[in-house]
Amino acid sequence: GCLVTSATLTALGTFDRFRLRAGLPKKAVTAVVPSPFHHADAGVLRVPDLKADPRDAAAHTAAIIRDLPSLVEGSRGTLVLFSSRKQMQDVFDGLDRDWRKQVFIQGNLSKQETLNKHKARVGGGGALSLSVPGLSLSQASQLPHLNGERILV
């Protein structure tokens, strides 16, 4: 027997696609169980209108650079997740010098060192970390020290 768990194994409420791709027989037992995490109570999803199409990388990056300071204002700390290392670096490079001094950017330190420094700085407020794949939104939202912070994707 085998137990496989993930928040993304079903599609449209069934395991059919997973079953097919994993080579499981139709008689394999599957079950959808409620999440132990209380995501609805843990945060609010807001989608800012950046006024830029993500397919236009230059305009999208410029919009993030322009709007990031107002998006993180009032937060003890913010973790910004990027799907592209290049865009993460371009956003960092485009930030005002004073902002860059406040930012931990993945790649300058190990992932664990970045998270530890971010956690330590959160106590004093104003921590901003930029990260690329390797730390998913669901993983980030479950980090205990991110309570009360913002996660931007």
CB 79, CB 136: distance < 8 Å: no
Q: State how far the Cα of 153 lies from the Cα of 142, in Å rounded to an integer.
A: 15
Q: Which residues of 56-95 are buried (b: 16+ CB within 10 A; e: fewer)?
A: eeeebbbbbbebbeebbeebbbbbbbbeeeebbbbbbeeb
Residue 43's Cβ-count burial label (10 Å; 0-12, 13-18, 19+) is middle
The residues spanned by each domain of the chain are 1-33, 43-152
Q: pLDDT at position 142, please?
A: 47
pLDDT tens digits, residue range 77-101?
Answer: 777 888 888 999 999 999 999 988 8
Tell me the pTM. Answer: 0.62
Q: pLDDT at position 114, please?
A: 76
pLDDT tens digits, residue range 101-127?
Answer: 888 887 888 877 877 777 777 765 555
Q: Is the model more confident about 151 or about 62?
A: 62
Structure tokens at 30: 């599957």
> Could you give the 3-state DSSP secondary structure of residue 129?
strand
pLDDT tens digits, residue range 33-77?
Answer: 887 777 677 667 778 889 999 999 999 999 999 999 888 887 777
CATH classification number, 43-152, choose in 3.40.50, 3.30.70, 1.10.10, 3.30.420: 3.40.50
- State the average pLDDT for the chain: 78
Is the pLDDT reported for residue 129 higher than 70? no
Q: State how far the Cα of 90 lies from the Cα of 141, in Å rounded to an integer.
A: 25
Residue 31's Cβ-count burial label (10 Å; 0-12, 13-18, 19+) is exposed
Work out the average pLDDT over 20-26.
90
Instruction: Give the chain's length.
Output: 153
